[in-house]
Amino acid sequence: MSIDISQFHDVFFEESFEGLDAMESGLLNLEDGAADVEAINTIFRAAHSIKGGAGTFGFMAVSEFTHKMETLLDEMRNGEREVTPESTNVLLEAVDVLREMLTAVQQDEDTDDARIEAVCQQLIEMLGGGDESSEIEQETEADSVDSDDEKSIGWKIDFRPHLHMLQTGNDPVRLLRELDSLGDLSVNLDDSQLPLFSDLEPEDSYLAWHMELISDVAKEEIVEIFEWVEDDCDLTIEALFAAAETSTELSEETETQQPEESIAEITETELKPTAGEKTETKQKSTTTPAAASIRVGTDKIDSLINMVGELVITQSMLSQVGDNFTEDMLPQLIDGLAQLERNTREMQEGVMRIRMLPISFAFNRFPRLVHDLTDKSGKQVDLKLTGEQTELDKTVMEKIGDPLVHLVRNSLDHGLETPEVRLAAGKSETGTLKLNAYHQGGNIVIEIEDDGAGLDEDKIFNKAVEKGLVNKTDNLNPEKIHELIFMPGFSTADVVSDISGRGVGMDVVRKNIHSLGGSVEIDSKQGSGTKFTIRLPLTLAIMDGQTIRVANENYILPLVSIVESIEIKSTDIKQVSGKGELYKLREDYVPVIRLYDVFNIEPLITDLEEGLLVVVEGDGQKVGLFIDDLLGQQQVVIKSLETNYRKVVGLSGATILGDGTVALILDVPGLISLYREPSSGKSLVKSERAA
């Protein structure tokens, strides 16, 4: 009977990637020369687990590569090798290669064999060649008998899995296949513990194996095969001597009298990965990738279960009221509906909390990034992470990773100076890069701050003039100049490097953050440093919105985008040639966008004084949206237009209101982009409506 262990693949990959993160974090925290034994033990255990799991599932290339890492780590934890920057960097590169190998196996793709071989060679050179073989010789000598008359010709192995071993994802026949590859293996099956068929549990292990391996391999190699199951089996390995050769031959003769189903054949028919198995694994990884799962604390699950219990009680009460309803039971019905609303809201909040993860999942990549980039640039940087336990939605977490990487890379390349420049400016030679996260209202705020040179406003302005983005005569304040770095293709780098300077990145940062319904701001002072502030909604599934009416249509405006709502005075309206209408808001002028005109609907009100102006902010600019009326505020569940229909400029999604009607959710940055290019913007919206 063969157990389908592919069902455990997802768990293996998830735990392996977590182990790699732990290895990377531990390696970055190792101090030169003085090894932290506990840290090295943690790194070693992670490597050991990945190696054993890979061997169990038949991913032998991963297992063999990890074994070399494990050997180097073993020497470090035993004090036989000092921890040096060179060894740490080699192990960090090996972690990268191992991550690539696991990703390739998970997605059934080809691996980069040249890169694997290069890093493997570095590990071998670091080990110094013969160290490992000398350890094996010592192990073999320790296991040999002090006698000149008897010589070991192999090993006698008794292997009895514990009853539950198959349930851990380990298949004994895979282990036997590995033994068979070491030499001449004879096997006797012990089925004495096999129960009656009616009492058989398919995933319990009842069999045992008594084996003799004729080979000159060291005992260590045999132990290594079984080390992943050492706590789940009874195992004895004894040296086999020439004096026992006769009994070995008898054993082999007995084996050949049985039906000829050798271990090699068992492997071939049951366990050798076939094309069919590969296809099945690929399909499974496609439908259930590791990233699709999250770990949830039991306290959140318990809270959700309690809420379900309350909901059931409320449903039961309302059911009783409905069965025998009379007019005098109306107060009881109202109380029940209020309780149902409260339970539903708590259930909604509880479900959303399950999707919340600490932002440390996004922050954890930066110690390695800073380590690598400072090595290349020669800069000294102190990375400080705070607010790592601040939680946000898993979907937001996945999409904010790349923008954060761009901002950190730009701070390291453009912001922080070299030690010599910093000392000349009267600063510490070590620069500081801070990442901080905290909740503010219904948003999460992420700050990336450095104490570097700050933005060079003259250089930015001159580069913008050179690229034709602004005119030389334009009088821009510092905030407007800072905004120029978000223009597509803009870069002030004098030399193109592999860190930054290719004119891509910052415009992508803003675009990605806006796609999440967020915003990014810059606060910079030349010579003192720069701070980027990102504001994001905690979740993309639910938001607080303001319902507005335009003609006969209802729309939802995100509350976070609204600055204020005002009644319009005709005396404050200005007509500007080529710019449309502007409204004087205290000391500033804001453009007026008539939504009925943008979305090509028949208006009921065209006189500005008869409607309202909702001032919103996006892309660092304020605009006024002309609407008919404000209807009310409510939480709305966002449904993606792009998923269910297609992307529409000026709209970020849709929702279903309480009366069953559909309301479109406005995208403020998108509306502003339509205002900047009115002709193309209107045609886009009209074509969508016509379609």
- Tokens 């100049």 belong to residue: 481
Q: How many CB atoms lie within 10 A of CB 556?
A: 26
Pair 255, 188: CB distance under 8 Å: yes
Answer whether 219's CB lies under 8 Å from 237's CB: yes
Using alpha carbons only, how large is the chain's radius of gyration in Å? Answer: 34
By residue count, the chain amounts to 691
pLDDT tens digits, one per residue of 169-187: 778 888 888 888 888 888 9
Between 11-25, 146-160, 344-358, 586-600, the lowest mean confidence (pLDDT) is in 146-160
Helical spans, DSSP H, in 57-208:
60-77, 85-106, 113-127, 131-143, 172-180
What average pLDDT does the segment 538-561 reach?
Answer: 85
Q: Is the pLDDT of residue 190 over 80?
A: yes
What integer is the mean pLDDT of 351-377? 84
Higher pLDDT, residue 660 or 273: 660
SS3 assignment, position 149: coil
- Taking alpha carbons only, the member of 343, 186, 322 closest to residue 251 is 186
Q: Whose CA is closest to 17, among 7, 28, 25, 29?
A: 25
CB distance 32 to 81 below 8 Å: no
Q: What is the pLDDT of residue 395?
A: 81
Q: Give 286-311 pLDDT, tens digit per residue.
A: 333 435 567 777 888 888 888 889 88
User: Comparing 243-257, 328-342, 565-579, 650-664, which segment has the lowest mean pLDDT?
Assistant: 243-257
Higher pLDDT, residue 333 or 55: 333
Active site residues: 48, 70, 410
The fourth-level CATH superfamily of domain 5-129 is: HPT domain (1.20.120.160)
- Euclidean distance between CA atoms 619 and 668, whole angstroms: 9
> Do 625 and 591 touch, CB atoms closer than 8 A?
no
Could you please state the CATH topology (level 3) that the domain comprising 358-537 is classified under: Heat Shock Protein 90 (3.30.565)
pLDDT tens, position by position, 474-501: 878 888 888 888 877 676 555 445 445 4
Give the pLDDT confidence of 74-113 residue by residue, as tens digits. Answer: 888 887 888 888 888 888 889 999 999 988 888 888 888 8
More confident residue, 1 or 76: 76
What six digits make up the tokens of 317?
């009460």
Answer yes or no: is pLDDT of 328 > 60: yes
Say which residues have a Cβ less than 8 Å from residue 346's Cβ, sequence separation at least 6: 307, 310
pLDDT digits (tens, 9 = 90+) for 234-263: 888 888 876 444 343 434 443 434 443 333
So what's the pLDDT on residue 530?
92
Residues 350, 684: Cα–Cα separation, whole Å: 40
pLDDT beyond 80 at 280 = no
Give the mean pLDDT of the chain. 78
Cβ neighbour number for residue 442 with a 10 Å cutoff: 15
Three-state SS sequence of 74-100: HHHHCCCCCCCHHHHHHHHHHHHHHHH
pLDDT at site 157: 92
The amino acid present at 689, given as its one-letter code, is: R
Which CATH number does 138-258 carry? 3.30.70
> Of 366-375, 641-650, 668-677, which has the strongest mean pLDDT?
366-375
3-state class (DSSP) for residue 660: coil
Q: What is the pLDDT of residue 505?
A: 63
Give the pLDDT confidence score for residue 494 in this predicted structure: 53
Concatenate the DSSP letters of all residues of 581-640 into one string.
EEEEETTEEEEEEEHHHHTT---S---GGGSEEEEEEETTEEEEEEESEEEEEEEEE-B-
Predicted local distance difference test score (pLDDT) of residue 242: 64
CA gap 409, 543 in Å, rounded: 31
What tokens appear for 100 in the block?
């690539």
Report how far residue 653's alpha carbon sits from residue 495's, in angstroms, rounded to the nearest whole number: 42
Top-level class of domain 542-690: mainly beta
Does pLDDT of 131 surpass 60? no
- 223 contacts 237 by C-beta, under 8 angstroms: yes
Mean pLDDT within 444-451: 92
Confidence of residue 450 (pLDDT cuts 50, 70, 90): very high
Q: What is the mean pLDDT of residues 590-609?
A: 88
User: Is 654's pLDDT higher than 90?
Assistant: no
pLDDT higher than threshold 70 for residue 444? yes
Cα–Cα distance list, 671 to 327, 535, 650, 665, 681 (Å): 51, 19, 5, 11, 9
| Residue 448: pLDDT over 90 | yes
Is 139 a residue whose pLDDT tops 50? no
* Backbone phi and psi for residue 238, each to the nearest 5 degrees, phi listed first: -125, 150
**For residue 134, what are its two tokens?**
């000398």
Banded pLDDT at 384 (limits 50, 70, 90)? very high
pLDDT of 136:
40
CB 550 within 8 A of CB 629: no
Please give the residue that has the higher pLDDT: either 621 or 134. Answer: 621
Q: What sign for the dihedral angle of Cα 571, 577, 582, 584? A: negative
pLDDT at 252: 41
